[in-house]
A and B are shown apart, each in its own frame.
Chain A
Amino acid sequence: DAGVTQSPTHLIKTRGQHVTLRCSPISGHKSVSWYQQVLGQGPQFIFQYYEKEERGRGNFPDRFSARQFPNYSSELNVNALLLGDSALYLCASSLSAGSYGYTFGSGTRLTVV
Chain B
Amino acid sequence: GQNIDQPTEMTATEGAIVQINCTYQTSGFNGLFWYQQHAGEAPTFLSYNVLDGLEEKGRFSSFLSRSKGYSYLLLKELQMKDSASYLCAAYGPNQAGTALIFGKGTTLSVSS
Contacts and interface: CB of A to CB of B under 8 A. Distances in A.
Interface residues of A, number: 28
B43 A100 contact: no
B87 A98 contact: no
A111 interface: no
Contact of B43 (A44, A90, A109): A90
Given A48-B98, A100-B33, 12 more contacts: A35-B100, A42-B102, A42-B103, A43-B100, A44-B102, A45-B100, A56-B97, A58-B96, A90-B42, A97-B98, A102-B100, A104-B42
Contacts of B35: 104
Interface in B54-103: 87, 89, 91, 96-103
Contact of A98 (B48, B96, B98, B101): B98
30 contacts: A33-B99, A35-B100, A40-B105, A41-B104, A42-B4, A42-B87, A42-B89, A42-B103, A42-B104, A42-B105, A43-B100, A43-B102, A44-B102, A45-B96, A45-B97, A48-B98, A56-B96, A56-B98, A58-B96, A88-B40, A92-B100, A97-B98, A98-B98, A100-B30, A100-B48, A102-B45, A102-B100, A104-B35, A106-B41, A106-B42
* Cβ-closest 3 pairs across A and B: A56-B97, A42-B102, A104-B42
Contact of B99 (A42, A48, A90): A48
B7 interface: no
Interface of B: 4, 30-31, 33, 35, 40-45, 48, 87, 89, 91, 96-105
A25 interface: no
A2 B112 CA distance: 36
B40 to A, nearest CB: 8
Nearest to A98: B98
Nearest to B85: A42
A23 to B, nearest CB: 12
Contacts of A45: 96-97, 99-101
